[in-house]
Amino acid sequence: MKDNMRPIGVLDSGVGGLTVVRRLQAQLPGEDILYFGDSANVPYGNRSEDEIFALTMKMIHFLAQRDVKCIAIACNTISTIVKRLRAVEPCPLLSIVEAGASYVVREKLPRVGLIATEFTVSKGAYDARIHAHAPRCEVVSKGSPSLAALIDGGCFGGAAVETEIRTQVDNILSRAPVEHLLLACTHFPIVEDSFRACYPQLKLIDPAEQQAKAVDLLLTERGWHNEQPRGTLSIYTTGDPALYADVAGRLGLAAPAVCAHEALA
């Protein structure tokens, strides 16, 4: 297959990466997208680095076997170990942490609140990327042990989601007067309305848009744009295909083909 006709791979521990697919379809409507979501093993954010690495390599192999031209790692938790993945995988891997951090630097934000999985926060990957270019930017982070799993279980709002959001964001606000909140887990924009209802004063940052621009730039550099008018979306999941169809509909994605895949572990 000609390089420009090959699909873009997208992976996540679950449904969260569909928020990146939404931005990719807006930015690059002609691209075919192949998505893998490992909902049988979600949340990755409560696992060890070695477990995350092993599970992610299985997703990468699945996508690489289908000849993707690059892979958008639409998961902040996995993106924190992108160096380790790049060391063994030749296919271009685009990290959403690098995309989110570059947005904060480019906008010259003096301070940013950040809500993510506990793993993402513990790795300090955002802090390191932001401080490499903006050493004075104050990054006020808090991990949630349960929000990604709640959303991946089909809870898209209501009391359980709002209580968890308030618990973690109140903690951030008690430590600094933040005006911007980075949604540093791709599941979280699915419940953006709950964030807005709880904190209408905060400006929410979804790094997915920035990641879609990074993919666009890579395709430009390599001459890999697919010029067809409209691309396809194929989703594979180790979880419930109905959940993916539901979230795809909520995010306004054009009707995808959703297939079940056997468990990875």
Q: Which residues bind ligand DGL (CB under 6 A)?
A: 12-14, 16, 42-45, 75-77, 117, 120, 148, 185-187
For ligand DGL, the closer of residues 6 and 114 by Cβ is: 114
Residues belonging to the chain: 265
- Catalytic residue, chosen from 70, 155, 185, 259, is 185
User: Beta strands of 93-184 (E only): which ranges?
Assistant: 93-95, 111-117, 138-144, 180-183
- Catalytic residue, chosen from 70, 75, 137, 155, is 75
Minimum distance of ligand DGL from residue 142's CB (angstroms): 14
Quick check: is 91 catalytic? no
Distances (CA, A) of 17 to 1, 66, 173, 223, 233: 26, 19, 27, 25, 13
Distance CA 72, CA 197 (A): 30
Q: Which residue is nearest to ligand DGL (CB)?
A: 45
For ligand DGL, the closer of residues 12 and 31 by Cβ is: 12
Distance CA 222, CA 45 (A): 33
For ligand DGL, the closer of residues 6 and 161 by Cβ is: 161
For ligand DGL, the closer of residues 16 and 256 by Cβ is: 16
Minimum distance of ligand DGL from residue 38's CB (angstroms): 8
Positive or negative torsion for Cα 213, 215, 220, 225: negative
- Enter the tokens of residue 89: 């995988």
**Which residues are known to be catalytic?**
75, 185
